[in-house]
Amino acid sequence: MRHAIDRLNVKGSVLVIKHGKPWLNYATGNKADTSYLINSVQKSMTATMVMREVEKHHMKLNDPLSEYFADVPGAKEVKVKNLLNMTSGLNLAKGKELGTDPFVSDKMNLASDIANTVFDEKQLGKWHYTAINYILLCGIISKLEHKSYEQLFRKTYIQPLKLKQTEFLWSSKAELKASHWLPGYEYRSELQRYRRFPHAKAVKDAHDELGAGSIVMSNHDLAKTMTAILHGKLLSEKSQAILFKGQAPTYYNGGFYNLPRFRAANGAGSGYYTFFRASDDGQNMLIIQSNHTKKGRFVHLRKKVNNIMSLILRFNKKGWKY
């Protein structure tokens, strides 16, 4: 199994959990407890925060977006559940980018994003992956709780789960260092080498993708958080069944691709890759993170990681099961 993982040639950290216990925990580069920007893997955490609001009866999945942000195009037609499963028909207008330049505040970013959002009624109910869905969800829960997304995230995850290697990318250098964070690197073909991704740009992108790419985590903290989300006390079993069930062909909902054999979440950006896989019962997990990326490599690695997870699920206490 380790040989199959090492053949990916990923410079980073690996954690395999088998039957609920660490089976492999090592580094192919950096250290086993290094923290990385998890990018879109964070969406599952944001989705869980939304579902907790549903459990508190503060909102409903069938609520129209207009109850929270009436200025969004198509807000009366789009429902909260459409944001969670990426079927809202919303997107940024052509040529527009997320957030303000420079970053001022979450509130200003949200206002700018809403002003630059367009609605395609023909796409309502059809899957289309875009961060604007989860940015709007962040805005909703912040409005309901009268707290910033960062405050809510710390209250929901970092504090109760006692996460030691988890921080927001815009935290101080001292806080990032304490979390064992390392900067990301991108391969530059014109230089024929890896080059450090500019931290200021990475922080700007993290603010722009609030709730969808702002958090750095070690493998241990990520596994602990995902266990709490999928099989812990953060959500009721009923909520888990509703949120983490997707429809063909993508099976996407609640930040996961809820595939027939396992759940998958992927993150890529600012010089980082994160691949998370978990069996339905949560007893088997595969996490691979790297801070060295190369254009065109993400899709290739994603497929290989899926194959490795399938191998893990075929391996039981007695050996290989065919």
- pLDDT tier at 1, thresholds 50, 70, 90: confident
DSSP tag of 204: H
Distance CA 255, CA 119 (A): 21
pLDDT above 50 (res 321)? no
> Rounded to whole angstroms, what are the CA distances from 136 to 99, 155, 193, 245?
12, 20, 38, 21
The answer on pLDDT for 247 being more than 60 is yes
pTM, whole model, 2 decimals? 0.96
Burial class (CB in 10 A: 0-12, 13-18, 19+), 7: exposed
pLDDT at residue 158 tops 50: yes
- Name the H helices within 70-131: 80-84, 106-115
List, for residues 124-152, the tens digit of each pLDDT value: 999 999 999 999 999 999 999 999 999 99
Which residues are CB-neighbours of 141 under 8 A, at least 6 positions away?
46, 49, 50, 53, 149, 152
